[in-house]
Amino acid sequence: MMIELFRNPNYDFLGKAKYFIAFSAIVMTAGCISMVTRGFNLGVDFAGGTKLTARFVAPPDENQIREALRKGGYAPDKIVIQRTGRQLSQSDRNEVFINTPQTETDVDGDKRKITEALQQHYGAAAPPDKLDINLVGASALADRLAERDALDLKRTLPPGEAEKEYRRFADHVMQIRDAAGGTLADLKAIPLTGFDPKMAEALEQAAAAGAFNIVSAEIVGPQVGKDLRNRAIVVTIVACIGMLFFIAFRFEWIYGVAAVIAVIHDVLITLGLFSLFQWEISLTFIAAMLTLVGYSMNDTIVIFDRIREQLAQRRRDDLATVTNEAINQTLSRTVITSGLTLLSVLALVLFGGEVLKSFSLALLIGILFGTYSSIAIASPVLLWWKRYLERRQPAAAEAPPARAGGEKRAGQRAKSAPTR
Protein backbone atom coordinates (compact mmCIF):
# COMPACT_ATOMS: atom_id res chain seq x y z
CA MET A 1 0.00 0.00 0.00
CA MET A 2 1.10 3.55 -0.63
CA ILE A 3 2.16 5.76 2.19
CA GLU A 4 0.38 9.05 1.71
CA LEU A 5 0.80 12.36 3.45
CA PHE A 6 -2.62 13.57 2.41
CA ARG A 7 -5.51 11.43 1.27
CA ASN A 8 -7.59 13.50 -1.13
CA PRO A 9 -6.87 16.84 0.54
CA ASN A 10 -9.54 19.47 0.21
CA TYR A 11 -8.57 22.50 2.26
CA ASP A 12 -10.09 25.86 1.50
CA PHE A 13 -6.84 27.79 1.01
CA LEU A 14 -8.28 30.68 -0.95
CA GLY A 15 -11.03 31.21 1.60
CA LYS A 16 -8.30 31.93 4.13
CA ALA A 17 -6.37 34.15 1.77
CA LYS A 18 -7.38 37.21 3.79
CA TYR A 19 -5.68 35.81 6.89
CA PHE A 20 -2.58 34.87 4.93
CA ILE A 21 -2.33 38.32 3.44
CA ALA A 22 -2.89 39.91 6.84
CA PHE A 23 -0.11 37.75 8.30
CA SER A 24 2.25 38.60 5.45
CA ALA A 25 1.39 42.28 5.75
CA ILE A 26 2.20 42.28 9.47
CA VAL A 27 5.53 40.51 9.00
CA MET A 28 6.43 42.72 6.04
CA THR A 29 5.46 45.93 7.81
CA ALA A 30 7.52 44.98 10.85
CA GLY A 31 10.40 44.09 8.56
CA CYS A 32 10.14 47.30 6.55
CA ILE A 33 9.97 49.44 9.69
CA SER A 34 13.05 47.69 10.98
CA MET A 35 14.82 48.08 7.63
CA VAL A 36 14.15 51.82 7.65
CA THR A 37 14.87 52.50 11.31
CA ARG A 38 17.54 49.94 12.20
CA GLY A 39 18.93 49.02 8.83
CA PHE A 40 21.00 45.90 8.31
CA ASN A 41 23.88 44.26 10.01
CA LEU A 42 26.06 44.43 6.92
CA GLY A 43 29.22 42.33 6.86
CA VAL A 44 32.48 43.70 5.51
CA ASP A 45 31.52 42.56 2.02
CA PHE A 46 28.95 45.32 1.79
CA ALA A 47 29.86 47.82 4.48
CA GLY A 48 33.57 47.81 3.75
CA GLY A 49 36.19 47.27 6.42
CA THR A 50 38.31 44.42 7.64
CA LYS A 51 37.31 41.05 8.99
CA LEU A 52 40.04 38.80 10.22
CA THR A 53 39.76 35.24 11.39
CA ALA A 54 42.37 34.59 14.03
CA ARG A 55 43.12 31.12 15.32
CA PHE A 56 44.84 30.92 18.65
CA VAL A 57 46.77 28.02 20.05
CA ALA A 58 44.40 27.88 23.01
CA PRO A 59 40.86 29.21 23.50
CA PRO A 60 41.38 32.99 23.60
CA ASP A 61 39.96 35.43 26.12
CA GLU A 62 37.89 38.07 24.32
CA ASN A 63 38.69 40.72 26.91
CA GLN A 64 42.38 40.21 26.36
CA ILE A 65 41.98 40.65 22.62
CA ARG A 66 39.93 43.76 23.19
CA GLU A 67 42.63 45.08 25.50
CA ALA A 68 45.34 44.30 22.94
CA LEU A 69 43.46 46.17 20.24
CA ARG A 70 42.71 49.11 22.50
CA LYS A 71 46.44 49.44 23.14
CA GLY A 72 46.94 49.21 19.37
CA GLY A 73 44.78 52.30 18.91
CA TYR A 74 41.34 50.85 18.22
CA ALA A 75 38.28 52.34 19.93
CA PRO A 76 36.55 49.45 21.73
CA ASP A 77 33.10 50.41 20.43
CA LYS A 78 34.16 50.17 16.78
CA ILE A 79 35.69 46.72 17.02
CA VAL A 80 33.48 43.65 16.98
CA ILE A 81 34.93 40.45 18.36
CA GLN A 82 32.90 37.35 17.73
CA ARG A 83 33.26 33.73 18.63
CA THR A 84 32.16 30.95 16.33
CA GLY A 85 28.60 29.95 17.14
CA ARG A 86 29.20 26.24 17.18
CA GLN A 87 31.98 24.89 19.28
CA LEU A 88 32.22 21.44 17.75
CA SER A 89 35.93 21.19 17.06
CA GLN A 90 39.09 22.44 18.72
CA SER A 91 39.75 24.89 15.90
CA ASP A 92 36.25 26.36 16.44
CA ARG A 93 36.99 26.95 20.09
CA ASN A 94 40.29 28.61 19.30
CA GLU A 95 38.87 30.81 16.60
CA VAL A 96 37.78 34.40 16.82
CA PHE A 97 36.52 36.94 14.28
CA ILE A 98 37.79 40.48 14.50
CA ASN A 99 35.76 43.04 12.65
CA THR A 100 36.52 46.72 12.16
CA PRO A 101 35.50 49.51 9.83
CA GLN A 102 38.35 50.98 7.83
CA THR A 103 40.50 53.26 10.01
CA GLU A 104 43.71 53.43 8.00
CA THR A 105 44.12 55.26 4.69
CA ASP A 106 45.29 52.07 3.00
CA VAL A 107 42.45 49.63 2.52
CA ASP A 108 44.58 46.80 3.88
CA GLY A 109 46.28 48.84 6.60
CA ASP A 110 44.03 47.56 9.38
CA LYS A 111 45.12 44.00 8.81
CA ARG A 112 48.73 44.93 9.50
CA LYS A 113 47.83 47.15 12.42
CA ILE A 114 45.64 44.55 14.13
CA THR A 115 48.21 41.82 13.59
CA GLU A 116 50.90 44.04 15.09
CA ALA A 117 48.69 44.93 18.07
CA LEU A 118 48.03 41.27 18.80
CA GLN A 119 51.71 40.43 18.36
CA GLN A 120 52.63 43.15 20.85
CA HIS A 121 50.17 41.84 23.39
CA TYR A 122 50.90 38.16 22.98
CA GLY A 123 54.57 38.80 22.29
CA ALA A 124 55.95 36.76 25.16
CA ALA A 125 55.46 33.52 23.25
CA ALA A 126 57.61 34.64 20.33
CA PRO A 127 60.72 36.68 21.20
CA PRO A 128 61.57 39.35 18.62
CA ASP A 129 64.79 37.68 17.47
CA LYS A 130 62.90 34.57 16.42
CA LEU A 131 60.40 34.09 13.64
CA ASP A 132 56.82 33.46 14.70
CA ILE A 133 56.06 30.17 13.05
CA ASN A 134 52.31 30.79 13.13
CA LEU A 135 52.56 34.04 11.21
CA VAL A 136 55.23 33.47 8.58
CA GLY A 137 55.27 31.39 5.43
CA ALA A 138 57.59 28.63 4.31
CA SER A 139 59.91 30.87 2.30
CA ALA A 140 60.64 33.19 5.21
CA LEU A 141 61.30 30.26 7.50
CA ALA A 142 63.56 28.58 4.94
CA ASP A 143 65.53 31.82 4.49
CA ARG A 144 66.01 32.18 8.22
CA LEU A 145 67.08 28.56 8.67
CA ALA A 146 69.57 28.88 5.83
CA GLU A 147 70.91 32.11 7.23
CA ARG A 148 71.55 30.58 10.64
CA ASP A 149 72.68 27.29 9.11
CA ALA A 150 72.74 25.49 12.44
CA LEU A 151 73.45 22.18 10.75
CA ASP A 152 76.44 23.60 8.91
CA LEU A 153 75.02 22.25 5.68
CA LYS A 154 76.54 24.99 3.56
CA ARG A 155 79.99 23.60 4.22
CA THR A 156 79.12 19.93 3.82
CA LEU A 157 76.71 20.03 0.88
CA PRO A 158 77.29 21.24 -2.70
CA PRO A 159 76.32 24.91 -3.25
CA GLY A 160 72.58 25.50 -3.33
CA GLU A 161 71.73 22.13 -1.76
CA ALA A 162 71.70 23.48 1.79
CA GLU A 163 69.01 26.03 0.87
CA LYS A 164 66.98 23.28 -0.78
CA GLU A 165 67.17 21.07 2.27
CA TYR A 166 66.09 23.90 4.59
CA ARG A 167 63.27 24.76 2.21
CA ARG A 168 62.11 21.13 2.22
CA PHE A 169 62.02 21.17 6.00
CA ALA A 170 60.22 24.55 6.11
CA ASP A 171 57.55 23.22 3.72
CA HIS A 172 57.16 20.20 5.96
CA VAL A 173 56.69 22.38 9.05
CA MET A 174 54.06 24.53 7.32
CA GLN A 175 52.20 21.46 6.13
CA ILE A 176 52.04 20.13 9.68
CA ARG A 177 50.87 23.54 10.88
CA ASP A 178 48.08 23.84 8.31
CA ALA A 179 46.93 20.28 8.86
CA ALA A 180 46.67 21.13 12.56
CA GLY A 181 44.23 23.93 11.73
CA GLY A 182 46.69 26.73 11.12
CA THR A 183 48.47 26.97 14.45
CA LEU A 184 51.15 25.03 16.25
CA ALA A 185 51.50 25.35 19.98
CA ASP A 186 54.72 23.42 20.37
CA LEU A 187 57.65 23.10 18.00
CA LYS A 188 58.56 19.76 19.55
CA ALA A 189 55.33 18.29 18.21
CA ILE A 190 56.69 18.34 14.64
CA PRO A 191 57.63 14.85 13.47
CA LEU A 192 61.15 14.66 12.05
CA THR A 193 60.90 11.54 9.94
CA GLY A 194 63.02 11.97 6.84
CA PHE A 195 65.07 14.80 8.33
CA ASP A 196 68.20 15.17 10.36
CA PRO A 197 67.16 15.12 14.05
CA LYS A 198 69.26 18.24 14.51
CA MET A 199 66.69 20.11 12.44
CA ALA A 200 64.54 20.34 15.57
CA GLU A 201 67.31 22.29 17.26
CA ALA A 202 67.80 24.49 14.20
CA LEU A 203 64.10 25.23 14.15
CA GLU A 204 64.03 26.15 17.81
CA GLN A 205 66.94 28.52 17.32
CA ALA A 206 65.33 30.22 14.37
CA ALA A 207 61.67 30.28 15.33
CA ALA A 208 59.16 30.11 18.13
CA ALA A 209 55.47 29.35 18.21
CA GLY A 210 53.45 32.53 18.63
CA ALA A 211 49.99 32.72 20.11
CA PHE A 212 47.91 33.03 16.97
CA ASN A 213 47.63 32.87 13.19
CA ILE A 214 45.49 35.02 10.92
CA VAL A 215 43.88 32.23 8.90
CA SER A 216 41.70 34.42 6.75
CA ALA A 217 41.21 38.06 5.92
CA GLU A 218 38.45 39.83 4.13
CA ILE A 219 39.23 43.43 3.35
CA VAL A 220 36.85 45.45 1.29
CA GLY A 221 37.14 49.11 0.33
CA PRO A 222 33.99 51.20 0.76
CA GLN A 223 33.36 51.65 -2.96
CA VAL A 224 33.70 47.95 -3.75
CA GLY A 225 31.00 47.02 -1.26
CA LYS A 226 28.59 49.54 -2.72
CA ASP A 227 29.29 48.40 -6.30
CA LEU A 228 28.77 44.78 -5.33
CA ARG A 229 25.46 45.48 -3.66
CA ASN A 230 24.11 47.62 -6.49
CA ARG A 231 25.16 45.09 -9.06
CA ALA A 232 23.50 42.25 -7.19
CA ILE A 233 20.25 44.20 -6.89
CA VAL A 234 20.22 45.17 -10.57
CA VAL A 235 21.01 41.64 -11.74
CA THR A 236 18.28 40.15 -9.55
CA ILE A 237 15.73 42.60 -10.90
CA VAL A 238 16.75 41.88 -14.49
CA ALA A 239 16.50 38.14 -13.80
CA CYS A 240 12.99 38.63 -12.36
CA ILE A 241 11.92 40.59 -15.44
CA GLY A 242 13.33 37.83 -17.65
CA MET A 243 11.30 35.23 -15.78
CA LEU A 244 8.22 37.43 -15.93
CA PHE A 245 8.48 37.56 -19.72
CA PHE A 246 8.93 33.83 -19.99
CA ILE A 247 5.91 33.07 -17.79
CA ALA A 248 3.88 35.65 -19.68
CA PHE A 249 4.85 33.87 -22.88
CA ARG A 250 3.96 30.42 -21.56
CA PHE A 251 0.84 31.48 -19.61
CA GLU A 252 -0.56 34.98 -19.50
CA TRP A 253 0.70 38.35 -18.31
CA ILE A 254 -1.05 38.19 -15.00
CA TYR A 255 0.53 34.82 -14.14
CA GLY A 256 3.95 36.33 -14.56
CA VAL A 257 3.00 39.38 -12.53
CA ALA A 258 1.51 37.24 -9.74
CA ALA A 259 4.63 35.06 -9.61
CA VAL A 260 6.91 38.10 -9.43
CA ILE A 261 4.76 39.67 -6.69
CA ALA A 262 5.18 36.46 -4.70
CA VAL A 263 8.94 36.59 -5.23
CA ILE A 264 9.10 40.22 -4.10
CA HIS A 265 7.09 39.23 -1.03
CA ASP A 266 9.60 36.49 -0.18
CA VAL A 267 12.61 38.73 -0.68
CA LEU A 268 11.08 41.50 1.45
CA ILE A 269 10.20 39.12 4.26
CA THR A 270 13.66 37.55 4.28
CA LEU A 271 15.34 40.96 4.25
CA GLY A 272 12.94 42.13 6.98
CA LEU A 273 13.73 39.18 9.23
CA PHE A 274 17.47 39.69 8.72
CA SER A 275 16.99 43.30 9.75
CA LEU A 276 14.72 42.48 12.71
CA PHE A 277 17.12 39.93 14.18
CA GLN A 278 20.22 41.82 12.97
CA TRP A 279 21.70 38.70 11.42
CA GLU A 280 24.84 39.48 9.47
CA ILE A 281 24.48 39.88 5.71
CA SER A 282 27.58 38.70 3.87
CA LEU A 283 28.46 38.00 0.28
CA THR A 284 26.93 34.52 0.33
CA PHE A 285 23.61 36.15 1.20
CA ILE A 286 23.37 37.18 -2.46
CA ALA A 287 23.66 33.57 -3.55
CA ALA A 288 20.94 32.66 -1.07
CA MET A 289 18.67 35.39 -2.41
CA LEU A 290 19.17 34.12 -5.95
CA THR A 291 18.39 30.57 -4.82
CA LEU A 292 15.30 31.84 -3.06
CA VAL A 293 14.06 33.62 -6.17
CA GLY A 294 14.56 30.48 -8.24
CA TYR A 295 12.89 28.28 -5.68
CA SER A 296 9.88 30.51 -5.15
CA MET A 297 9.33 30.81 -8.91
CA ASN A 298 9.59 27.05 -9.30
CA ASP A 299 6.98 26.46 -6.64
CA THR A 300 4.56 29.00 -8.06
CA ILE A 301 4.87 27.63 -11.59
CA VAL A 302 3.97 24.11 -10.42
CA ILE A 303 0.65 25.41 -9.07
CA PHE A 304 0.03 27.68 -12.06
CA ASP A 305 0.68 24.77 -14.39
CA ARG A 306 -1.99 22.77 -12.65
CA ILE A 307 -4.44 25.65 -12.81
CA ARG A 308 -3.84 26.01 -16.54
CA GLU A 309 -4.30 22.29 -17.07
CA GLN A 310 -7.51 22.15 -15.05
CA LEU A 311 -8.93 25.20 -16.78
CA ALA A 312 -8.34 23.59 -20.15
CA GLN A 313 -10.18 20.45 -19.06
CA ARG A 314 -13.06 21.90 -17.06
CA ARG A 315 -14.16 25.03 -18.77
CA ARG A 316 -17.37 25.40 -16.86
CA ASP A 317 -15.87 25.54 -13.38
CA ASP A 318 -15.34 28.69 -11.37
CA LEU A 319 -11.71 29.92 -11.32
CA ALA A 320 -11.71 30.04 -7.53
CA THR A 321 -12.71 26.37 -7.30
CA VAL A 322 -10.16 25.39 -9.93
CA THR A 323 -7.36 27.32 -8.21
CA ASN A 324 -8.17 25.85 -4.84
CA GLU A 325 -8.28 22.36 -6.27
CA ALA A 326 -5.00 22.89 -8.07
CA ILE A 327 -3.38 23.85 -4.77
CA ASN A 328 -4.85 20.80 -3.08
CA GLN A 329 -3.85 18.44 -5.86
CA THR A 330 -0.26 19.59 -5.73
CA LEU A 331 -0.21 19.77 -1.95
CA SER A 332 1.61 16.53 -1.24
CA ARG A 333 4.22 17.40 -3.87
CA THR A 334 4.64 20.85 -2.33
CA VAL A 335 5.04 19.49 1.17
CA ILE A 336 7.42 16.69 0.19
CA THR A 337 9.67 18.84 -1.98
CA SER A 338 9.80 21.77 0.42
CA GLY A 339 10.18 19.48 3.40
CA LEU A 340 13.13 17.66 1.87
CA THR A 341 14.85 20.79 0.65
CA LEU A 342 14.24 22.46 3.98
CA LEU A 343 15.79 19.54 5.82
CA SER A 344 18.93 19.55 3.70
CA VAL A 345 19.26 23.28 4.27
CA LEU A 346 18.74 22.71 7.99
CA ALA A 347 21.70 20.34 7.87
CA LEU A 348 23.67 23.20 6.35
CA VAL A 349 22.57 25.62 9.08
CA LEU A 350 23.54 23.18 11.81
CA PHE A 351 26.74 21.67 10.44
CA GLY A 352 27.73 23.84 7.49
CA GLY A 353 30.15 26.03 9.41
CA GLU A 354 30.35 29.74 10.05
CA VAL A 355 31.21 30.70 6.48
CA LEU A 356 27.89 29.38 5.23
CA LYS A 357 25.84 30.71 8.14
CA SER A 358 24.39 33.81 6.48
CA PHE A 359 23.71 31.77 3.36
CA SER A 360 21.96 28.81 4.90
CA LEU A 361 19.87 30.90 7.27
CA ALA A 362 18.61 33.06 4.41
CA LEU A 363 17.87 29.95 2.41
CA LEU A 364 15.92 28.36 5.27
CA ILE A 365 13.66 31.38 5.63
CA GLY A 366 13.45 31.82 1.88
CA ILE A 367 12.31 28.28 1.17
CA LEU A 368 9.75 28.40 3.96
CA PHE A 369 8.23 31.62 2.65
CA GLY A 370 8.76 30.68 -1.00
CA THR A 371 6.48 27.69 -0.51
CA TYR A 372 4.01 29.67 1.53
CA SER A 373 3.82 32.54 -0.95
CA SER A 374 2.91 30.35 -3.93
CA ILE A 375 -0.24 29.32 -2.05
CA ALA A 376 -0.91 32.40 0.01
CA ILE A 377 0.15 35.23 -2.29
CA ALA A 378 0.55 34.22 -5.95
CA SER A 379 -2.72 32.27 -6.24
CA PRO A 380 -4.97 34.91 -4.59
CA VAL A 381 -3.37 37.70 -6.64
CA LEU A 382 -4.14 35.74 -9.79
CA LEU A 383 -7.73 35.08 -8.71
CA TRP A 384 -8.43 38.65 -7.62
CA TRP A 385 -7.11 40.13 -10.82
CA LYS A 386 -9.32 37.81 -12.86
CA ARG A 387 -12.35 38.75 -10.78
CA TYR A 388 -11.50 42.41 -11.15
CA LEU A 389 -11.42 42.01 -14.91
CA GLU A 390 -14.81 40.34 -14.81
CA ARG A 391 -16.38 43.02 -12.69
CA ARG A 392 -15.27 45.58 -15.21
CA GLN A 393 -17.26 43.67 -17.81
CA PRO A 394 -20.83 43.71 -16.39
CA ALA A 395 -22.18 43.34 -19.92
CA ALA A 396 -20.82 39.83 -20.04
CA ALA A 397 -24.09 38.46 -18.76
CA GLU A 398 -24.08 35.18 -20.61
CA ALA A 399 -22.34 33.66 -17.60
CA PRO A 400 -23.10 34.58 -13.98
CA PRO A 401 -20.17 36.62 -12.58
CA ALA A 402 -19.40 34.13 -9.83
CA ARG A 403 -19.02 31.33 -12.35
CA ALA A 404 -17.25 33.41 -14.92
CA GLY A 405 -14.92 30.52 -15.53
CA GLY A 406 -12.01 29.87 -17.81
CA GLU A 407 -9.08 32.15 -18.24
CA LYS A 408 -9.34 31.98 -21.98
CA ARG A 409 -12.84 33.40 -21.97
CA ALA A 410 -11.97 36.02 -19.42
CA GLY A 411 -9.06 37.03 -21.57
CA GLN A 412 -11.17 37.19 -24.69
CA ARG A 413 -13.76 39.25 -22.97
CA ALA A 414 -11.20 41.71 -21.79
CA LYS A 415 -9.79 42.04 -25.25
CA SER A 416 -13.12 42.44 -27.00
CA ALA A 417 -14.40 44.98 -24.51
CA PRO A 418 -13.63 48.17 -26.45
CA THR A 419 -15.60 47.03 -29.47
CA ARG A 420 -18.88 46.64 -27.61
Partner 1 sequence: MRENVLQRAIVILVVTLGCLYVTLIGWRSPRLDDFKSLDQIKRNLAANIKLGLDLKGGSHLVMQVMADEAVQKMTDDNVEKARAILENIGISVKEAKRLSATQLAIAIADAGRAGEARDKLLEDFGKSEWTASVSGDTLTFTLSERVAQEYRRRAVEQAMLIIESRINAFGVAEPTLQRYGAEQSHQILLQLPGVDDPERVKKTLVLESNLELRPVDGAYRTYATLEEARLAIGGRTDVEALPLDERDDDETLDEDGQPLPKRRAQPKPDAPTQFLLVSKTPIVVGKDLRDAFASSGSLDGEGDYRIVFKLKDEGAKKFGDWTGQNIGKGLAIVLNGRVKSAPTIRGQIRETGEITGNFTKASAEDLALVLRSGALPARIVYLEERTVGPSLGADSIRQGVAASIAGLLFILLFMVAYYRLSGVNAIISLILNLVMLLAVMVMFGAVLTLPGIAGVILTIGMAVDSNVLIFERIREELKAGKPVLNAVELGFDKAFVTILDTHVTTVVSSLILFVFGTGPIRGFAVTLLAGLLANIFTATFVSKTMFGYVLSRSERPSELSI
Site for partner 1 in 97-126 (CB under 8 A): 106-108, 111-112
Coil, helix or strand for 411? helix
Cα separation, 378 vs 323, whole angstroms: 11
Listed residue (30, 14, 17) closest to 268, CA to CA: 30
- Piece of the chain touching partner 1 by CB under 8 A; list 22-30, 135-143, 199-207, 379-387: 135-143
Which position among 36, 124, 179, 397 is part of the footprint of partner 1 (CB under 8 A)? 179
- Piece of the chain touching partner 1 by CB under 8 A; list 272-280, 302-310, 316-324, 409-417: 302-310
Burial code (b: 16+ CB inside 10 Å, e: under 16) for 327-341 equals bbbbbeebeebbeeb
Task: Identify residues 46-75 at the interface with partner 1 (CB under 8 A).
Answer: 53, 55
Q: Is 284 in the site for partner 1 (CB under 8 A)?
A: yes
CA distances from 70 to 67, 83, 226, 345, 356 (A): 5, 18, 29, 39, 30
345 within 8 A of 367, measured Cβ to Cβ: yes
Cβ 362 to partner 1 shortest distance, Å: 10
Task: Identify residues 335-364 at the interface with partner 1 (CB under 8 A).
Answer: 336-337, 340-341, 343-348, 350-353, 355-356, 359, 363
- Piece of the chain touching partner 1 by CB under 8 A; list 14-22, 122-130, 195-203, 240-248: 240-248
For partner 1, give the closer residue by CB, 301 or 389: 301
260 within 8 A of 243, measured Cβ to Cβ: yes
Q: Is 129 in the site for partner 1 (CB under 8 A)?
A: no
- Piece of the chain touching partner 1 by CB under 8 A; list 18-26, 194-202, 211-219, 392-400: 211-219
Listed residue (276, 221, 207) closest to 45, CA to CA: 221
Q: Site mask, partner 1, residues 72-91, x = CB under 8 A?
A: -------------------x
Listed residue (344, 254, 269) closest to 300, CA to CA: 254
Q: Is 297 in the site for partner 1 (CB under 8 A)?
A: yes
DSSP assignment of 355-402: GGHHHHHHHHHHHHHHHHHIIIIIHHHHHHHHHHHHHT-TT-TTS-GG
Q: Is 2 in the site for partner 1 (CB under 8 A)?
A: yes
Task: Identify residues 243-282 at the interface with partner 1 (CB under 8 A).
Answer: 243, 245-247, 250
Cβ 2 to partner 1 shortest distance, Å: 7
Which position among 200, 302, 368, 414 is part of the footprint of partner 1 (CB under 8 A)? 302
